[in-house]
Chain A
């Protein structure tokens, strides 16, 4: 594995955590009941913490790069930072990149939707994170392995909490059952991207699918939910793909992402280098 590959993959992990944390934090003071409002924002806090650890690692890697390595990853480096004339820091990566420089999975950036959508997304993502980080724990890069080991203890709580909610809604009232079924229909297509090669993975993410599927089916069974979403075989109708001339390529972002980025970056763009 090359160090530039390690850098982009670390950025991918950081972006996934940051963007979902940002989305979930929109529930702050809007949760259905106080306890669950606190729960979802606590999950956000854990994800922000994980993102920070990954961004710090990515920045340290970059600062130690040779000139040639820096050129290789230049397309992911924020323009604005270059005018700062100092070493790259975690906040530069989190708050100063342009939309198309973020490498997060599309599922993390979708609008928060209703409570069923939020808890189902969290469950599908936490289950993925659980198996992904379990593999990363054995990674040759010591710091990446340490962050994975640390994060896993938090993910176990997220997985349990979100899984319980999926069961509660699926096996609840007719109305709650309908809501979670709608969420499955809306979200399922986006899970495909978790296991598709993105071009910068350091692990074989396709191999995680069997365990992930087993976990999802186990919870869906208990929730009395059958997954009737069919895989969309015609790529041109899938929201994951976009026409690029004659070709179809995986969409970099959804139409909802620009607003999220504008909101998230507002302070650092308006008051450069501001700190708490």
Chain B
């Protein structure tokens, strides 16, 4: 019984540590804010070859299939855990259910906005294959909704390029997915 309680406590510690691991492409967001951590499980050591101590099994899900940040994120998670003494770490990738911007934390959306990237609109508003739809995206600088899309694809696969017609500034929009 005591071991189980201790495992749960360790899991809480790891969730806290993961808040310090950021997305290398959007450094204001932690992996928790992004919503890509699906599962954390602490057990007795998974394998002697990985060292003594707690065994940590993490399940993450990619944002986009080809996102080059995923390999870096896995490595950063591992390094952060090693830094705090967790050497026995297994990171698994899981594709289903597919990641959605609805899993992004409210705090994460606020951080994005302060960083100058418009946060994703709720999925139900606009996420279909219908063409030439105009989505009301708010300018993160002047808060105007008088904006227009320049391109559905921008500096990374997860963003679209927009332009504010009031303050005239271009900006990135973290598109709904």
Interface set of A (CB-CB < 8 Å, partner B): 35-36, 38-39, 42-43, 45-50, 52-53, 130, 142-143, 145-147, 149-154, 156-157, 159-161, 163-164, 167, 219, 222
Whether A149 contacts B65 in the complex (CB less than 8 A), given A156-B129, A160-B130, comes out as: no
Q: Is there an interface contact between B151 and A48, defined as CB atoms closer than 8 Å?
A: no
Q: Mark B88-108, 1 if CB is under 8 A from A, else 0.
A: 000000111111100000000
Query: Digit string of B127-141 for contact with A (CB within 8 Å is 1, else 0)?
Result: 111111000000000
Nearest B residue (CB) for A142: B96
Beyond A153-B177, A156-B129, A163-B131, whether A52 also contacts B65 by CB under 8 A is yes
Q: Which residues of A contact B128 (CB under 8 A)?
A: 156
B86 at the interface (CB under 8 A from A): no
B64 touches A154 (CB 8 A): yes
A130-B129, A145-B96, A156-B127 in contact; A151/B150 too (CB < 8 A)?
A: no
A222 to B132 Cα, complex, angstroms: 12
Does B142 sit within 8 A of A, measured CB to CB? Answer: no
A142 to B131, CA, bound (A): 31
Please state if B98 and A153 are interface contacts (CB–CB under 8 Å): yes
Nearest chain A residue, comparing its CB with the CB of B155: A38
Residue ID in chain B nearest A46 by CB atoms:
B66
Chain A residues, Cβ within 8 Å of B153: 35, 38-39, 42-43, 157, 161
Give the residues in chain A near B151, CB-CB below 8 Å: 35-36, 38-39
Give Cα A167 to B130, complex, Å.
Answer: 13
SS of B interface (majority)? loop
Top 6 A-B residue pairs of the complex, sorted by shortest distance between their CB atoms: A49-B66, A49-B65, A146-B96, A35-B151, A42-B153, A39-B153
Provided the pairs A35-B150, A49-B65 are in contact, do residues A42 and B95 lie with their beta carbons within 8 angstroms?
no
**A147, B66: Cβ atoms closer than 8 Å:** no
B64→A49 contact, CB < 8 A = yes
Interface residues of A: mostly helix, strand, loop or mixed?
Answer: helix
> Which of A50, A142, A159 touches B65 (beta carbons < 8 Å)?
A50
Q: Determine the distance from Cα of A140 to Cα of B129 in the docked complex, in whole angstroms.
A: 26
State whether A150 touches B98 (Cβ < 8 A).
Answer: yes
Q: Mark B53-68, 1 if CB is under 8 A from A, else 0.
A: 0000000001011111
Which of B98, B100, B132, B154 is close to A164, meaning CB atoms less than 8 Å apart? B132
Shortest beta-carbon distance, B132 to chain A, in Å? Answer: 6
Complex: A48 Cα to B94 Cα, angstroms: 18
Query: Looking across the interface, which residue of chain B has its beta carbon closest to that of A157?
Result: B152
B residues less than 8 Å from A130 (CB atoms):
129
A45 touches B152 (CB 8 A): no
B95→A52 contact, CB < 8 A: no
Contacts of A147 in B (CB 8 A): 65, 95
Which of B100-132 touch A at CB < 8 Å?
100, 127-132
Chain A residue at minimum C-beta to C-beta distance from B150:
A35
Cβ contacts A to B, 18 pairs, < 8 Å: A43-B153, A45-B66, A46-B66, A52-B66, A53-B65, A53-B95, A146-B96, A149-B96, A149-B98, A150-B62, A152-B98, A154-B64, A157-B152, A157-B153, A159-B129, A160-B129, A167-B131, A222-B131
Q: Which residues of B contact A157 (CB under 8 A)?
A: 152-153
Decide yes or no whether B157 CB sits under 8 A from chain A.
yes
